[in-house]
Amino acid sequence: MRNLKTVTVALALMATMSAFATKGKKVTKENNLSGQIYEMLKKNQFNEDHKEMTAEVRFIVNEKGELVVLSVETKDEILEGFVKSRLNYQKVELENVAPGRVYEIPVRITA
């Protein structure tokens, strides 16, 4: 019985180690769509009057790989203009983006 428990624990450890040892493409902020949008929006000049602002951004990616902002749903007009000016017609580098597909992403900017 003790040998069975030892073998079971050893197999579980080997299975866990092999799962973590598999090499795959590392997903970083630079190579996914939300990470690239984050980089475009991270440098801003909002003052302390705007502690936290949120928006829901709808956009498509055209055939040239550029973002085309369709709408920005927010209560703050300043944030709407900021998001549109920073994202509209900015090129993104991705392989798995379907041109013409509508994407939605939540945006939150804090001071």
pLDDT tens digit string along 28-42?
Answer: 555 688 899 889 888
Helix spans in the chain (H): 2-21, 33-41, 77-87
For tokens 């829901």, the residue is 56
The CATH number of domain 26-110, selected from 3.40.50, 3.30.230, 3.30.1150, 2.60.40: 3.30.1150
Looking at this protein, which amino acid is placed at residue 82? Answer: F
Q: Are 44 and 109 in contact (CB under 8 A)?
A: yes
Q: What does the pLDDT profile of the chain (111 residues) look like in tens digits?
A: 566 556 565 556 566 655 555 555 544 555 688 899 889 888 877 666 667 889 999 999 999 999 999 999 999 888 899 899 999 999 998 777 888 899 999 988 876
State the pTM of this model. 0.66
Count CB atoms within 10 A of the CB of residue 110.
9
For tokens 């997903």, the residue is 27
